[in-house]
Structure 1
Amino acid sequence: NTELGIDTETRPSFRKGQQHKVALLQVATADLCFLFRLNYMGLPNALAHLLENGEIKKIGLSLKDDVQQLHKRRPSLKPRNFVDLQQIAAQMGIKDMSLAKLFANIFRQRISKNAQLSNWEADALDEKQRVYAATDADACLKLYHRMEELKNNGDFRLISPEKSTPKPEIQ
Structure 2
Amino acid sequence: MMKTIFKKYDKHAITALPRVIFEGEIKVIDHPEDVETAVDFLLAQDILGVDTETRPSFKRGVSYEVCLLQVSTEDVCFLFRLNCVGMHPAIIRFLTDKKVPKVGLSWHDDLNQLHKRAEFEPGNFIEIQDMAKDLGLIDMSLQKIYANLFHQKISKSQRLSNWEVSELKDSQKIYAATDAWACIQLYKEFNKLNETHDYVLIEPKIVEPQAESQAESHAEFQVESQAEPQVELISQSKASS
Task: Say whether the fold is shared (TM-score over 0.5).
Answer: yes
Partner in structure 2 of residue 16 of structure 1: 60
> What is the one-letter code of the residue matched to 1:49?
R
Partner in structure 2 of residue 147 of structure 1: 190
Per-residue CA shift, 1:111-152, capped at 9, x if unaligned? Answer: 110000000111111011000000000001111011111112
Name the SS of the counterpart of 1:118 in structure 2.
coil
Q: TM-score, normalised by structure 2?
A: 0.66
Aligned mates of 1:74, 1:93 — CA distance in 2: 35
Partner in structure 1 of residue 138 of structure 2: 95
Aligned mates of 1:108, 1:34 — CA distance in 2: 26
Q: What are the ranges of 5 or more consecutive residues in structure 2 without an aligned counterpart?
A: 1-44, 216-241
> What is the one-letter code of the residue matched to 2:190?
M
**Paired residues for 1:67-106 under 5 Å:** 67-75=111-119, 77-106=120-149
Partner in structure 2 of residue 159 of structure 1: 202
Q: What are the ranges of 5 or more consecutive residues in structure 1 without an aligned counterpart?
A: none
The worse-fitting range, judged by mean Cα deviation, of 53-62 and 146-155 is: 146-155
Partner in structure 2 of residue 111 of structure 1: 154
Aligned mates of 1:109, 1:93 — CA distance in 2: 20
Aligned mates of 2:91, 2:170 — CA distance in 1: 24
Instruction: Check if 1:123 corresponds to 2:166.
Output: yes
Given that 1:26 and 1:35 are in contact with CA atoms closer than 8 Å, whether structure 2 keeps it comes out as yes
Aligned mates of 1:120, 1:114 — CA distance in 2: 13
Aligned mates of 1:56, 1:148 — CA distance in 2: 17
Q: Following superposition, which runs of at least 4 residues in structure 1 exceed 6 angstroms of deviation?
A: none
Partner in structure 2 of residue 54 of structure 1: 98
Aligned mates of 1:91, 1:17 — CA distance in 2: 38
Larger radius of gyration between Structure 1 and Structure 2? 2
> What is the one-letter code of the residue matched to 1:34?
F
Give aligned-pair identity as a percent.
Answer: 47
How big is the shift at 1:55?
0.4
Aligned mates of 1:155, 1:14 — CA distance in 2: 46
The worse-fitting range, judged by mean Cα deviation, of 122-131 and 42-51 is: 42-51
How big is the shift at 1:164?
4.6
Q: TM-score, normalised by structure 1?
A: 0.92
How big is the shift at 1:45?
1.1
Aligned length: 167
Aligned mates of 1:44, 1:14 — CA distance in 2: 29
How big is the shift at 1:36?
0.6
Name the SS of the counterpart of 1:141 in structure 2.
helix
The worse-fitting range, judged by mean Cα deviation, of 44-53 and 110-119 is: 44-53
Name the SS of the counterpart of 1:23 in structure 2.
strand
Name the SS of the counterpart of 1:40 in structure 2.
helix
> What is the one-letter code of the residue matched to 1:128?
S
Given that 1:26 and 1:137 are in contact with CA atoms closer than 8 Å, whether structure 2 keeps it comes out as yes
Q: Which has the higher contact order (CA 8 A, sep 6+)?
A: 2
Partner in structure 1 of residue 3 of structure 2: none
> What is the one-letter code of the residue matched to 2:135?
M
Aligned mates of 1:15, 1:82 — CA distance in 2: 33
